[in-house]
Structure 1
């Protein structure tokens, strides 16, 4: 899986979408205060956008708190970031490749060359403008700062033409802003073939290594996958390191992952190693823990499958998914481990995941989670199964004879949105109670499946009629 990554990277780079395309280069300004940007008037009225006339959305109140004309936004937690082009039109963020797997906006604004644009930081609950920045940019994209803090990256690419003897040279400036519009850091990189994640510029450094350069200064770190035929790349759709059959978050909090024995079985299957991001010292490894019950072992006690994933790291624990066996390529066993002791915490969940040729990302062995990670939903051969990551206990699962639902995302209050499809028929979008399996809505328009902003729990949708933000339902 994810061999699509190699082909897709080439395509996307050709389109200039993965390429970091620039920063404001010191041209930030504000229409809400002094030059350099300032907070907008806190007494300003909330925006008066279009009225909502769509269906009720389970998990959200009936009427939106505020709205705007058609637009998309980058979710920064307590604010939503909107971009206006030089003509004053809101960016809608559609048509860009390489978008995040969770359905959120990755690249919100893209032009071929740096052009003036306006960044609006709006309060997620009221819609009031907190800050306005005027920048010159050719791409505005969602990113994260250190420890997963949501942020926005503003790029500006510049090319120095050849003088007839020298080579043409491209440099890219990137500036990262926090949810309040404060500049967190800026850097300049050669070329345009890099990603920005967790406050680092991430570049391919040979087939088996990734170079991580801190945007706010400091020494670069290299992450290298080992193995005779090792391939190691970064998938910006999932923010994972791709080492062949093994996948994990490249950076998660104070840790970084690499793959041992990547892309070749040799005498041992692939392993995932978690290291201290600052020092490179090993903190945890799948090689040092016992695979959960249900994982097939050979006569030497080694796994017969090299398929392996780390799904999450939080609160001193690692959530993993293991390939069940060499002849069960779509069956995975999920288990949680304590980082300090290496011992498994709670039980495990075993599912045969849906193997869809249309899926080029990572549903195999993966699940979607509630924001607090108390529930997870897996896309299995029978449809959706809901389980508890803490102890591996199944809450409910679809059975043969039901319309198989593919889970899309959870609301903060446990509503699960998903899609079903009959042969030769359009997909049907629905909402169910994540704990009871009760169907709450069975035919929602696709554009009315909300995204959710944390920690407020507010949901938002972008339709052809407008951008609407709703409080969570009591």
Structure 2
């Protein structure tokens, strides 16, 4: 398994209220602006906090764009979301069980009881407050809306005490907000059954059925069931990587208008598992690994059947499906990646073959997966020799570490830089040019590994000294 996913999970002054929209779910916006006025001041003040005095960060400008006191944020694209407590302190996410494997902030606030909070939506380039909302909530977390649009989940839970005969009851109200602070949808959930919010749906395991997931649209609509089939099949949703887990088959549970399930997710392994993509709305089959030719290098038996059941869909984008296939029954750590055209099922470009690093104790199912740049043009893999970098579109390898080099495990990839840890140090990070493999920094502090805004290219770090945002290096 790729250890970078475990390590990356640990990296992650109000300037005035901006007019917002009132709501009835416990969120209180400020007064509505007068007719003809804007929700934000024409010249919103730039956020100015502490000055960054740390080491230079490759890929980012030397001077910060803006800063705040110590804080963590949810990335909503061109907006960063901060949570402020009633005492005025910014929330700093802890180590939660369901933290995203990519190191971004997942749960930003969690408490046993609902608490009064202020949500600050700040412009990623200037830090100016675009909007504030006052809510009473026990859970604030990053999520996604339809088609993977970044969004915010605000959850308020209540408990109904027993009257002496009735059972104690629990319920939650879930409100999803967009990057502009507008409400996108709302749902209610009764009972204490665990659930997750993803792609505008409540995701939960079907009652007494370990092979079926129930997807309930937020804001109304008929629930959809996703069932993995096979003898004693199991099918679960992993909120850390947003994948459906069918045993040896893994894929994004929901990707835009589609959803995946696993066929022959069998404990008896009578045949290789297959990933099937269907329309989310109708359940109509669209694509399956069973209907395409595995890439060259995947071992087949004398009947032409794959000897390894390992198969993974890494990404679905622009009519293309990026896959990873187990190389063979006796090559458990070796995977072959290939891209397919969604409409024709034909392979696009070549394929890449890597022996992934197998690290005992890694409980996150990421072997065969990759680390992507924000624009999805490049992917990095943690292999047994170190980092390998390749182009997503056609599978062309950019570079890979060689025998004799210090093995680097990639943590993040953006702005033309790969950040990762080497074998001899887990406290500092090496930064390497994504094109030339030139070492740009060999002793970057772990808390100075930046996250990157998905749309602006700006990077940000959260340290004990503050929250700092930088433009990309020129």
Question: TM (normalized to structure 1)?
Answer: 0.92
CA distance in 2, matches of 1:135, 1:71: 19
SS at match of 1:122: strand
Match in the other structure for 2:435: 435
* 1:26-45 alignment, distance < 5 Å: 26-31=25-30, 39-45=39-45
Q: CA RMSD in A?
A: 1.6
The superposition leaves residues 275-307 of structure 1 with CA deviations (integer Å, 9 ceiling, x where unpaired) of 000000000000101111110111111011111
Match in the other structure for 1:8: none
For the pair 1:343 / 2:338, whether they are aligned, the reply is no
SS at match of 1:391: coil
SS at match of 1:175: strand
* 1:73-222 alignment, distance < 5 Å: 73-192=73-192, 193-205=194-206, 206-222=209-225
Match in the other structure for 2:420: 418
Match in the other structure for 1:6: none
CA distance in 1, matches of 2:50, 2:331: 51
CA distance in 2, matches of 1:163, 1:25: 28
For the pair 1:320 / 2:319, whether they are aligned, the reply is no
Deviation at 1:96, TM superposition (A): 2.3
CA distance in 2, matches of 1:102, 1:391: 23
SS at match of 1:147: helix
CA contact (8 A) 1:170 1:191 kept: yes
Q: 1:249 aligns with which of 248, 252, 260?
A: 252
CA contact (8 A) 2:231 2:268 kept: no
Deviation at 1:34, TM superposition (A): 6.5
The superposition leaves residues 241-279 of structure 1 with CA deviations (integer Å, 9 ceiling, x where unpaired) of 000011000000100000001133543210000000000
Deviation at 1:435, TM superposition (A): 1.2
Q: 1:405 to 1:32 in 2, by over 3 A?
A: farther
The superposition leaves residues 326-365 of structure 1 with CA deviations (integer Å, 9 ceiling, x where unpaired) of 1110000100111111111111000000001142224410
CA distance in 2, matches of 1:46, 1:266: 59
Deviation at 1:33, TM superposition (A): 5.1
My pick for the range that moved more, 172-181 or 90-99, is: 90-99
Deviation at 1:28, TM superposition (A): 1.6
Match in the other structure for 2:302: 299
My pick for the range that moved more, 39-48 or 312-321, is: 39-48
CA distance in 2, matches of 1:132, 1:219: 33
The superposition leaves residues 153-204 of structure 1 with CA deviations (integer Å, 9 ceiling, x where unpaired) of 0000111111222111111100000000000000101124100000000010
* 1:48-87 alignment, distance < 5 Å: 48-87=48-87
Match in the other structure for 1:18: none
CA contact (8 A) 2:308 2:327 kept: yes
* 1:8-47 alignment, distance < 5 Å: 26-31=25-30, 39-47=39-47
Match in the other structure for 1:463: 463
Length, aligned pairs only: 448
CA distance in 2, matches of 1:420, 1:83: 34
Q: What runs of 5+ residues in structure 2 fail to find an aligned partner?
A: 3-22
CA contact (8 A) 1:318 1:338 kept: yes
Match in the other structure for 1:399: 402
CA distance in 2, matches of 1:108, 1:156: 14
CA contact (8 A) 1:48 1:68 kept: yes
Deviation at 1:427, TM superposition (A): 3.9
Deviation at 1:366, TM superposition (A): 1.0
Q: What runs of 5+ residues in structure 1 fail to find an aligned partner?
A: 3-23
